[in-house]
Amino acid sequence: MEELTMRQREVLEVILTGVEREGRFPSMREIARRLRLSSPATIFQHLEALEAKGFLRRAAGRWTPAPRSRRERVVPIVGRVAAGRPLAAFEEVEGYLTPEFIGAGQGRFSVRVQGLSMRDEGILDGDYVVVDPQAAASSGDLVVAYLGAEQEATVKRLQRRAGGVELHPANPDFGVIRVPRGDPYFRLAGKVVGLMRRL
C-alpha cells in the first residue's frame, strides 16, 4: 500500500474494518464521521482514487474492495475495556490480532483489558479479550458490556436476575454492578470467546 496517501490509507482502513465487522461497505457519511471529516463529498474523491489505484471496484453504482486490498482475516482491537471501574468506550481501531488462536469469526473484535477486577478468572491487566457480538450471552458467561450515558465498557461475568442483570467481578476487592431491567443505557457488546496475552 506504499502508493496510497495517508488519507487514502485511512479511508481504506475504515472501509475494510466496516466490511469485516458488519459485512457491508460503509456509506460515505459513515466514513466521513469515522475520520472526523465535515464533508462526505471529499470521500467520493478518495474512493475514486482508490479505484484508480486498484484497491476498490465499482459495479452498478456499488463499491467493493478489490482482491489486492483484502487482507488476511484478523480481529480488530477497538479499544480498552475495564476490569475494574468501567472506562469510556472508544471504538477506534487500534490494531489487529491474528486469528490463529481463536478464529476471526464474522464481526468479532478484541479489546485490551485495563484493571484487575477479573484477576481470579485469569484475565489480567493488558490482556486482550476477543468478543463475539453475535453470540447469545447466558447467565454465567463472560461478557463485555456498555454502561451509563457515556457508554463506558467493562468486562464481567453476567448473571441474569428477575429485576435486571448483575455484572460480577472475579476479585473480592471489587463490587457487583447491578443494572435494573429497562435501563436505557445498558448494552451487551457481546460474549467473551477468547483471551490473548502478550508475554
117 is known as an active-site residue: yes
Q: Grid coordinates in use for 174?
A: 471489587
How far is Cα of residue 10 from the mean position of the Cα atoms in its chain?
Answer: 17
Taken as a whole, the chain contains a residue count of 199
Instruction: For residue 140, count CB atoms less than 10 angstroms from its CB and return exposed for 0-12, middle for 13-18, buried for 19 or more.
Output: exposed
Q: Are 104 and 75 in contact (CB under 8 A)?
A: yes
CA separation for the pair 40, 25 (Å, rounded): 15
Geometric angle at alpha carbon 120, from 153 and 137, rounded to 5°: 45
Given the residues 69, 110, 117, 191, select the one marked as catalytic. Answer: 117
Geometric angle at alpha carbon 31, from 21 and 86, rounded to 5°: 60
39 is known as an active-site residue: no
- Give the residue numbers annotated as catalytic, written as ranges: 117, 156
